[in-house]
A = this chain, B = another copy of it.
Amino acid sequence: MSSPPPLSLHPDRLLPVDPTVRDIARRLYEAVEGLPIISPHGHVDARMLLDDVPFADPATLFVTPDHYVTRLLHASGVSLGALGVGRTQLSEDDARQIWRLLCSHWPVYRGTPVRFWLESELAQIFGVQVRPSARTADDIYDTVAAKLEQPEFRPRALFDRFGISVLATTDDPCDDLSAHAALAADESFRGRVIPTFRPDRYLEPASKGWADLVDRLGKVADVDTGTYAGWAAAMENRRQYFIRHGAVSADHSHQDARTDPLEPAEAERIYAAARAGDVTAAEGDALRRHMVLEMARMSCDDGLVMTLHPAVRRGHHGPTLEEFGPDTGHDIPVPVEFTDALRPLLERFGTHPNLHLVPFTVDETVFSSEIAPLAGFYPSVYVGAPWWFLDAPDAVRRFRAAVTETAGFARTSGFIDDTRAFCSIPARHDMSRRLDSGFIAQLVAEHRLDLDEALDTAVDLVAQRPVEAFKL
């Protein structure tokens, strides 16, 4: 029986193929390859770093909680149940079985960024040298599992090894941020781990459970949230709390990006109706849009960067949502519109010196027609990096090609990894650096940019854009 195919990472992977362009791209990539990782938006749990408990097993680390990975297995006929989705602890047998499912379905990831990330993680972090397959699954499992028991594979050690200089988490406004506080107070951990204010659920007055949420918000903030004004005061209070714990941004993900204001009395009226559970979906949307506008006003006051991740139909498949919960692979994008949606916000605050507004989209049609023109005029608007389904080689190239000619490089946010898969962070940033190096190299090869400018731009995208856009 022949050896299984090797898993080897080519040093030029994702760089342009043309020899002239590749040579330039290599020079650019060399300049950024080793720079510290700045991660201003993601979903890693601060407590993981605080507790520094070893990762449980390869399946829990790579498969079960990561909807990027489970999605395509599900589409290929593997049930989410068989992948352990929704379970927090797996027996070794289950974990090994899940791992085999991943490895035996390896071909379904061909051409996807998941493949790139997983390969990078397996090879670079865990030293795996064979391609995953049914045949190699157990060996790889054993290799990774053995490593996970070693101290240098615990979260803090990896945090250092990854070269992460800033890591932002995503947190509920009512979170006491005790993990962040403890981590900041822990002299044995020198990393910068900061919370992000994510108030979405408190801005959806027509959603089930909203009234209870704002009750709780009121208690935590010690502010009466019985009125809209109280809601706003409680939000201001919690934002301050987050700022004191290091937060630099507030993130919003709603069905649309609208920011239409309501008359104060109408806002109060809908708010009261929603508290009483007597609100229509349209009223809920109207108040939410007003609330988003209010959050922009707060950003002008307190300086938190405002990020928007709109227009995804969450939990598209009801039965799966019910059985396995949210974030299980069936959030599907819908068209988005920014030009008119953001106009009320930008008319009011678009030139305010304190506002940084970073719109993200999974509907790439707006990159050239809406987001780049907005960021190409408003000093407050930064183009969000390609996100989720678009955080992938060809999509990133389309993004740069669509955005740069109108907004340049300077008006972009820098890369965000947006991941809950801790070990994928270096691979994701590496992918971004390779792709940007390739894009910029193409400009040089077409004589649209000189090499010294290209080098300066490549470094700026990694080291300065996120610092500026996210006020780090």
> Would you call A317 and B350 a contact (CB within 8 A)?
yes
Which of A18, A116, A374, A446 has the largest count of B CB atoms less than 10 A from its CB?
Answer: A446
Partner of A334, one of B10, B317, B339, B393: B339
> Would you call B13 and A447 a contact (CB within 8 A)?
yes
A15 close to B (CB within 8 Å): yes
Partner of A370, one of B14, B20, B332, B449: B332
Residues of B within 8 A of A335 (CB): 337, 365, 369
A463 close to B (CB within 8 Å): no
Question: Which residue on B lies nearest to A333, using beta carbons?
Answer: B369
Contact sample, A vs B, 6 pairs, CB 8 Å cutoff: A15-B446, A17-B442, A111-B448, A115-B448, A116-B448, A368-B395
Tallying the copies of this chain within the complex gives 3
> Would you call A317 and B377 a contact (CB within 8 A)?
yes
> Would you call A111 and B392 a contact (CB within 8 A)?
no
Given A374-B332, A394-B401, A446-B15: A410 touches B76 (CB 8 Å cut-off):
yes
Q: Which 3 A-B residue pairings sit nearest by Cβ, starting from the closest?
A: A392-B405, A10-B447, A13-B447
A90 close to B (CB within 8 Å): no
- The smallest beta-carbon distance between A99 and chain B, in angstroms, is 19
Question: Which residue on B lies nearest to A335, using beta carbons?
Answer: B337
With A316-B377, A368-B395, A394-B401 given, name 9 new contacts (CB 8 A). Answer: A13-B448, A316-B343, A316-B346, A318-B347, A319-B351, A330-B377, A334-B370, A363-B369, A372-B389
A447–B15 alpha-carbon span in the complex (Å): 9
Given A409-B111, A453-B110: A373 touches B442 (CB 8 Å cut-off):
no
A457–B106 alpha-carbon span in the complex (Å): 12
A453–B377 alpha-carbon span in the complex (Å): 42
Residues of B within 8 A of A256 (CB): none
> Would you call B370 and A333 a contact (CB within 8 A)?
yes
Residues of B within 8 A of A376 (CB): 71-72, 75, 329
Given A376-B72, A446-B15: A408 touches B109 (CB 8 Å cut-off):
yes
Interface residues on A, range: 35 or more
- The smallest beta-carbon distance between A230 and chain B, in angstroms, is 31
> Would you call B448 and A14 a contact (CB within 8 A)?
yes
Given A339-B316, A339-B333: A74 touches B5 (CB 8 Å cut-off):
no
> Would you call B317 and A351 a contact (CB within 8 A)?
yes
- The smallest beta-carbon distance between A261 and chain B, in angstroms, is 14
A186 close to B (CB within 8 Å): no
A21 close to B (CB within 8 Å): yes
A189 close to B (CB within 8 Å): no
- The smallest beta-carbon distance between A36 and chain B, in angstroms, is 22
Q: A352-403: which residues lie under 8 A (CB-CB) from chain B? A: 362-365, 368-370, 372-379, 381, 389-390, 392-395, 398, 401-402
> Would you call B316 and A393 a contact (CB within 8 A)?
no
A342–B297 alpha-carbon span in the complex (Å): 38
Partner of A107, one of B347, B363, B453: B453
A143 close to B (CB within 8 Å): no
Residues of B within 8 A of A452 (CB): 5
Residues of B within 8 A of A77 (CB): 379
Residues of B within 8 A of A351 (CB): 317, 319-320
A406 close to B (CB within 8 Å): yes
